[in-house]
């Protein structure tokens, strides 16, 4: 049965959305469901034939999509973050990555029978993890802060480095296969470096001097990236991927250039591209697989899981402050992601005309590695973390959305009470002050795709939406209801109940209960602090209970939080009566002067 091209593209988009939504619901990497969907549509059912459907457009479409994916990944590599990520991540991102590359290449050579050039390319593609697969796994794994930070930063830092390794090895491989001299290879590398560097610097100047209006910046950046990719490939064949990777690194580290909005747009675009691309690429897999590819892929997967990854982590973390259980868990968790799948498929398309022995097995082996690591580690990492006693207990930390004086005052009271607090906002001035005051901060919209990759939620299980933006509070509450649960999401009202229409009040109550009380608004809280009121934490006893506290500080006292004897935080909210008991610690907003 022949399905029209337009209908098939629409169906792929719908299936891609369904796969992304399912991944969000079950908190697993979306790449797993996208690959499975492509396998079902292609080799299993025979409904999708990418080569026949797209014809000569398949290669350029995949090439441009991979270029944008690599550019978006390299935008997250900031040199300023490297000194502060600890010796463990520095080891994993440098000699650890090279060690993993060589050992994975050796496993592919001896266990899967790949020739050394293809085996080295396989090692470069599979030696790294990525934030798109690490982030959802950490949410279900919930390790302690040290393990979570190492895994998260490894994914962010090593992802573009792995792509760079793969591009360089591929350039050397193609030059050798086509009989090019070392000079041609060097010209290819220099061309990619030059085009990427010049393109990044020119675009940074245009953005810094506001020569591109804000509403055209995303469009202009995408056009510049694709121009650099195509121009570099025209001057020196196969140098475009290196050019866009370097261009992303240059823009990420350019002074005075804010790439957050561009990154948000690129992430939204990448979500669409990844969804369509992986279905297409998985549908191109041949079934049955080439001889012995399935079992050799399983052997390579087992060697990577039980030998190569633990050894690499042990070597990379020598001399670090990590305990052996923490190192063991890091050595177990290493899911492969977007870079491995997309770049391997693109290289396979480019290697097919060269008739290189073993190139047909590259994509199946990479996909076996991706599916195997995601499934195995998602199912076993949490029990292993509990057994090793490095799993975070029930998340007690709080995400505070807002960075104005009200939000910072509430956050400070929670930090002083011993809770982990993350202050998030897209207001740079507020975040800058919060950083100067010593808070853990996140600059950006906590409900964005960028936050899913970079916002560290280890140990955090509640949300206090306290920003001055009413609409954004609502969006963040809706976003984190699924993440934390309805009973863990609260919002500070911007308007008093009598100022809100009944329909708006109903919508707001469905999003999250009002913080502290029905009549407490952001403006009133700010005015009370300006009038000298202060937030006070006091332990209650049988002789100094809550009624005595009210008697001492006055009936106008506003209860904010209660901390039970076992350390459980209780949040005061409208329609959720909170009665502090002896043995609790109460955090309350009290007047500047005690009543007579």
Domain count, the chain: 2
Q: What are phi and psi of 490, to 5 degrees?
A: -135, 155
Looking up tokens 């063991």 gives 328
pLDDT bucket at 503, cuts 50 / 70 / 90 = very low
pLDDT digits (tens, 9 = 90+) for 108-147: 999 988 888 889 889 988 887 866 677 777 777 778 777 8
Q: Do 80 and 199 share a structural domain?
A: yes
Q: What's the whole-number mean pLDDT along residues 441-448?
A: 86
Q: Whole-angstrom Cα distance, residue 213 to residue 335?
A: 40
Is 84 part of any domain? yes
Note the pLDDT of residue 386.
87
> pLDDT tens for residues 187-244?
878 888 899 999 999 988 988 888 888 788 888 888 998 999 999 888 877 678 778 8
DSSP helix/strand/coil, 424: strand
| H-helix segments, 420-539 | 428-436, 449-454, 470-484, 502-511, 522-530
d(CA 164, CA 2): 40
596 lies in some domain: no
Beta carbons of 334 and 152 less than 8 angstroms apart: no
pLDDT of residue 506: 44
- Give the length of the chain: 596
Judged on CB neighbours under 10 Å (0-12, 13-18, 19+), 565 is exposed
Are 358 and 466 in the same domain? no
* pLDDT interval class at 14 (50, 70, 90): very high
Is residue 266 very low, low, confident or very high in pLDDT (cuts 50, 70, 90)?
low
* Structural domain span for residue 158: 5-388
- Residue where a domain terminates, one of 388, 407, 423: 388
Region of poorest pLDDT, from 32-46, 203-217, 238-252, 501-515: 501-515
407 shares a domain with 342 = no
> Are 165 and 97 a contacting pair, CB within 8 Å?
yes
Q: Please list the residues that pair with 440 across neighbouring strands.
A: 422
Same domain, 382 and 457: no
Number of alpha helices (DSSP H) and beta strands (DSSP E) in the chain: 25, 9
Determine which helix (DSSP H) or strand (DSSP E) holds 201, and give its type and residue range.
helix 182-208
Q: pLDDT tens digits, residue range 20-29?
A: 888 877 777 7
Q: Where among 358, 388, 418 does a domain terminate?
A: 388
- pLDDT computed for residue 110 by the predictor: 93
- Higher pLDDT pick, 44 / 342: 44
Is 244 inside any structural domain? yes
Average pLDDT score over residue span 76-82: 61
Residues 337 and 481 in one domain: no
pLDDT reading at 507 higher than 60: no
Task: Tell me which DSSP letter residue 3 carries.
Answer: P
Interior CA angle at 555 toward 499 and 398, to 5°?
65
Predicted TM-score of the model (pTM): 0.67
Q: Region 397-405: what's the mean pLDDT?
A: 90
d(CA 230, CA 244): 10
Helix (H, G, I), strand (E, B) or coil at 556: coil
Please provide the average confidence, as pLDDT, over all residues in the chain.
Answer: 81
Closest listed residue to residue 347, CA positions, set 226, 188, 241: 241
Task: Note whether 355 and 402 are same-domain residues.
Answer: no
**Are 307 and 354 in the same domain?**
yes
| Alpha-carbon torsion, ordered 562, 564, 567, 571, to 10 deg | -30
Look at residue 595 and tell me if it is in a domain.
no
Instruction: Report the CATH number that the domain containing residue 342 is assigned in CATH.
Output: 1.20.1530.20
Between the CA of residue 362 and those of 114, 125, 340, 343, what are the distances in Å? 9, 10, 11, 11
What pLDDT does 207 receive?
A: 86
The pLDDT of residue 178: 64
* Alpha carbons 74 and 68: distance in angstroms, whole number: 10
CA distance 37 to 276: 11
Residue-wise pLDDT for 308-362, tens only, equals 999 999 999 888 888 899 999 999 998 887 777 777 777 777 776 666 666 778 8
Residue 17 domain-assigned? yes
CB 338 within 8 A of CB 274: yes
């Amino acid at each position: 049965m022949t399905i029209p091209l337009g209908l098939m593209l629409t169906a792929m988009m719908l299936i891609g959305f369904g796969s992304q939504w399912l991944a969000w619901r079950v908190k697993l990497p979306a790449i797993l469901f996208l690959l499975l969907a492509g396998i079902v549509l292609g080799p299993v059912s025979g409904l999708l034939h990418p080569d026949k459907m797209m014809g000569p457009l398949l290669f350029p479409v995949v090439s441009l999509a991979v270029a944008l994916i690599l550019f978006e990944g390299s935008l997250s590599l900031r040199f300023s973050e490297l000194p502060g990520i600890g010796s463990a991540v520095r080891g994993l991102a440098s000699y650890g990555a090279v060690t993993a590359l060589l050992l994975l290449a050796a496993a592919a050579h001896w266990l899967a029978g790949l020739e050394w050039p293809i085996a080295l390319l396989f090692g470069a593609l599979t030696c790294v993890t990525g934030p798109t697969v690490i982030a959802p796994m950490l949410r279900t794994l919930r390790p302690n802060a040290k393990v979570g930070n190492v895994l998260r930063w490894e994914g962010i830092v090593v992802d573009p480095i792995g792509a760079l390794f793969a591009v360089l090895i591929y350039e050397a491989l193609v030059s050798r296969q086509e009989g090019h001299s070392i000079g041609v290879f060097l010209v290819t590398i220099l061309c990619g470096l030059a085009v990427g560097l010049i393109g990044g610097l020119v675009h940074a100047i245009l953005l810094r001097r506001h020569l591109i209006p804000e509403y055209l910046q995303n469009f202009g950046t995408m056009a510049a990236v694709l121009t650099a990719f195509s121009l570099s490939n025209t001057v020196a064949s196969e140098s475009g991927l290196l050019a866009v990777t370097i261009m992303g690194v240059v823009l990420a580290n350019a002074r005075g250039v804010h790439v957050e909005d561009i990154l948000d747009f690129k992430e939204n675009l990448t979500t669409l591209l990844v969804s369509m691309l992986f279905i297409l690429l998985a549908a191109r897999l041949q079934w049955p697989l080439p001889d012995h590819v399935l079992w050799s892929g399983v052997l390579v997967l087992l060697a990577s899981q039980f030998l190569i990854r633990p050894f690499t982590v042990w070597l990379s973390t020598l001399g670090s402050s990590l305990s052996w259980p923490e190192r063991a868990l890091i050595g177990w968790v290493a899911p492969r992601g977007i870079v491995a799948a997309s770049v391997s498929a693109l290289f396979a398309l480019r290697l097919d005309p060269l008739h290189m022995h073993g190139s047909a097995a590259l994509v199946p082996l990479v996909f076996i590695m991706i599916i195997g690591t995601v499934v195995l580690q998602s199912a076993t990492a949490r029990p292993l973390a509990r057994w090793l006693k490095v799993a975070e207990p029930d998340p007690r930390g709080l995400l505070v959305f807002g960075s104005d004086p009200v939000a910072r005052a509430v956050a400070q009271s929670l930090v002083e009470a011993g809770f982990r607090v993350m202050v998030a906002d897209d207001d740079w001035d507020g975040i800058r002050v919060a950083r100067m005051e010593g808070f853990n901060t996140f600059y950006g919209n906590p409900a964005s795709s960028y936050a899913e990759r970079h916002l560290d939620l280890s140990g955090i299980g509640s949300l206090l939406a306290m920003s001055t933006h009413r609409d954004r509070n609502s969006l963040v509450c809706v976003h984190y209801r699924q993440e934390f649960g309805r009973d863990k999401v609260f919002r500070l009202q911007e308007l008093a109940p009598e100022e809100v229409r009944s329909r708006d009040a109903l919508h707001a109550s469905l999003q999250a209960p009002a913080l502290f009380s029905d009549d407490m608004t952001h403006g009133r809280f700010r005015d009370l602090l300006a009038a000298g009121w202060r937030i006070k934490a006091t332990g209650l006893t049988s002789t100094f209970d809550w009624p005595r506290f009210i008697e001492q500080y006055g009936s106008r006292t506003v209860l904010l939080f209660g901390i039970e004897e076992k350390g459980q935080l209780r949040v005061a909210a409208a329609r959720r009566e909170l009665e502090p008991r002896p043995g609790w610690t109460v955090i309350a907003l009290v007047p500047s002067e005690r009543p007579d």
